[in-house]
């Protein structure tokens, strides 16, 4: 497949028409129809060539192959807005809200929400009330959080929250973002009280058993106990909140 990329780059430098260069890039894409990394590279190259619609299709193809991978949604969001493609924008924005949990997730998710609300207003003003309602419904669903965990404690202690997910993945400090969509948003330690918490979220959680391990790594733990808050289906009428008092009579506790 590298020969297609070299050929496309050479044609671009030589000033060939963009549609011809694009055709070469799409030939490479067909060759690597299930190669996610090459699809992402091809999409980026198509953006550079001024072919955003074709690039957007590749990002959507990547998300169909790896739904929990956040990059296609984030990169596709700008293109969908630029192309005024409301259906693609809904796909990209809801993808960001569901799967993007890196350190800047609050900023990126706010941007996604703002874009969806802006487009909802535009559609309403254009008399497209049904399409506006669909966008509002998609936004509401994307803001649901199937499972949230928050572990809190006091003292100088360092506690680790480890979540074994039903699909065989494990979310922990060593692996903060899993292919199952789980994310460890905060990894804390004492003595500052403001840092004495760990937080996990899985917006679109697989059904099954989640095994929670709390490890007392080091340091003095006030009362030799912590509190685990479990929130299920946050953002829905079925939201459930449970609080568990965790008493440490050994180094690890499992739930």
Rounded Cα gap, residues 45 and 53, in angstroms:
12
220-232 average pLDDT score: 96
Residue 12, classed as helix, strand or coil, is helix
The pTM score is 0.85
Q: How does residue 134 score in pLDDT terms, banded at 50, 70 and 90?
A: very high
Residue % of the chain over a pLDDT of 90: 75
Give 136-139 contacts, CB < 8 A, sequence gap 24+: 138/90, 138/93, 138/94, 139/93, 139/94, 139/97, 139/113
Higher pLDDT among residues 7 and 117, named by residue: 117
Q: What residues contact residue 105 under an 8 Å CB cut-off, 6+ apart?
A: 183, 185
State whether residue 101 is helix, strand or coil.
Answer: coil
Please state, in angstroms and as integers, the Cα–Cα distance from residue 221 to each residue in 132, 152, 154, following that order.
51, 11, 6
Indicate whether 40 pLDDT > 60. Answer: yes
- What pLDDT is recorded for position 1? 47
Q: Evaluate if residue 14 carries a pLDDT over 70.
A: no
């Amino acid at each position: 497949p590298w020969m297609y990329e070299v050929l496309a780059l050479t044609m671009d430098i030589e000033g060939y028409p963009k549609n011809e260069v694009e055709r070469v890039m799409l030939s490479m894409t067909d060759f690597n129809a299930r190669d996610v990394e090459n699809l992402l590279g091809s999409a980026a190259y198509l953006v550079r060539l001024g072919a955003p619609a074709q690039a957007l299709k590749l990002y959507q193809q990547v998300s169909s192959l790896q739904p929990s991978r956040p990059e296609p949604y984030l990169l596709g969001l700008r293109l969908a807005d630029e192309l005024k493609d409301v259906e693609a924008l809904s796909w990209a924005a809801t993808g960001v809200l569901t799967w993007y949990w890196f350190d800047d997730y609050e900023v990126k998710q706010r941007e996604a929400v703002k874009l969806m609300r802006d487009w909802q207003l535009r559609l309403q003003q254009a008399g497209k009330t049904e399409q506006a309602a669909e966008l509002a419904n998609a936004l509401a669903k994307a803001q649901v959080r199937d499972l949230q965990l928050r572990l809190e404690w006091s003292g100088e202690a360092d506690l680790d929250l480890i979540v074994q997910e039903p699909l065989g993945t494990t979310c922990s400090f060593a692996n903060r973002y899993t292919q199952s969509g789980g994310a460890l948003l905060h990894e804390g330690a004492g003595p500052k009280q403001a840092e004495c918490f760990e937080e996990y979220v899985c917006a679109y959680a697989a059904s099954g058993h989640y095994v929670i391990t709390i490890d007392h790594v080091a340091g003095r733990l006030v009362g030799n106990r912590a509190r685990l808050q479990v929130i299920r289906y946050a953002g829905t009428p079925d939201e459930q909140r449970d609080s568990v008092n965790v008493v440490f009579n050994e180094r690890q506790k499992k739930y």
